[in-house]
């Protein structure tokens, strides 16, 4: 059974990697469509992580609308499909929870707002920011598909090596209350190999400096790990193992993108500050 699960996890992991890497390199519009779908699924999963009240289909529709009012304008501006004034629509997305709460009779505003803003901040906003990594006018000369691929590669490497090192040498729990299996040894291993990959990337390519590669990798390890722990916290409070079942052996969209979504805004801030 364990071997079967490993094969399933490996095959679907490779499929996910091919879809992500292929779409980023091949066509930004295709990648935008894929992230649009992932965003919708992620919002649905976020609602499931708040099971205190039963949300109706209309509630779920409004959760999706508020998030898409953030994701779509960001994506359109980043890919230069629209002028920046379309970003005003994001204000409607941020204010929609108040209107939703006003007309909700059974679910309190605080719970509705929590799902709305969690979906916006943890899913839609970072998903939209990812497309600015293609935009040289915003994120500088490093912008392009390779920048986004590097970010995703660092996240995956940190995850893989933190698991491998932790499973072999992990003894000191990192955050036992939230994630009993994660260890300091695994985290240090993930950091080391991610920084090593960043160093090698800067040595064998000419589009990123060693300083930028190492700093971006460090930001990703720190904030990606926090994103992983935050999603684990939400799952623990909801008493679920995975956020969803979109990828057999890997869980849902939030399980796959928790580190990415939390790290991307901080990488974006770094890219803006160095301009």
153 close to 224: Cβ distance less than 8 angstroms:
no
Span 86-118, pLDDT tens digits: 999 999 999 999 999 999 988 999 999 999 999
Span 173-222, pLDDT tens digits: 877 778 778 888 999 999 999 999 999 999 999 999 999 999 999 999 99
Task: Give the chain's mean pLDDT.
Answer: 92
Read off the tokens for 173.
């729990």
The DSSP call for residue 87 is G
Question: How is the chain split among helix, strand and coil, in percent rounded to 5?
Answer: 80, 5, 20
Q: Alpha helix locations (H) across 49-108? A: 57-78, 89-103
Q: Residue-wise over 118-151: b if at least 16 C-beta within 10 A, else e?
A: bbbbbbbbbbbbbbbbbeeebbeebbbbbbbebb
Rg of the chain over Cα atoms, rounded to whole angstroms, equals 19
Domain boundary assignment for the chain:
2-273
* Average pLDDT for 225-236: 92
């Amino acid at each position: 059974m364990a071997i079967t699960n490993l094969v399933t996890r490996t095959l679907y992991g490779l499929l996910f990697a091919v879809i992500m890497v292929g779409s980023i390199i091949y066509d930004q519009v295709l990648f935008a469509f894929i992230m649009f779908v992932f965003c919708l699924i992620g919002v649905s999963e976020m609602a499931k992580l708040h099971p205190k009240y039963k949300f109706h289909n209309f509630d779920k529709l409004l959760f999706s609308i508020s998030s898409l009012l953030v994701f779509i304008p960001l994506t359109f501006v980043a890919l230069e499909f629209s002028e920046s004034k379309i970003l005003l629509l994001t204000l409607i997305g941020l204010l929609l929870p108040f209107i939703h709460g006003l007309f909700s009779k059974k679910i309190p505003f605080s719970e509705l707002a929590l799902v709305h803003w969690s979906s916006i901040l943890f899913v839609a906003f970072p998903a939209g920011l990812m497309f600015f990594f293609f935009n040289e006018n915003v994120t500088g000369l490093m912008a392009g598909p390779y920048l986004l691929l590097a970010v995703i590669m660092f996240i995956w490497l940190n995850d893989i090596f933190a698991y491998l090192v932790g499973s072999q040498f992990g003894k000191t729990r990192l955050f036992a209350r939230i994630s009993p299996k994660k260890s300091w040894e695994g985290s240090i291993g993930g950091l080391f190999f991610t920084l090593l990959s960043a160093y090698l990337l800067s040595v064998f390519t000419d589009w990123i400096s060693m300083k930028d590669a190492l700093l971006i990798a460090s930001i990703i390890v720190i904030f990606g790990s926090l994103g992983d722990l935050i999603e684990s916290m939400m799952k623990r409070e909801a008493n679920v193992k995975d956020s969803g079942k979109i990828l057999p052996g890997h869980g849902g969209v939030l399980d796959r993108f928790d580190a990415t979504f939390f790290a991307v805004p901080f990488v974006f801030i770094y890219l803006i500050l160095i301009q």
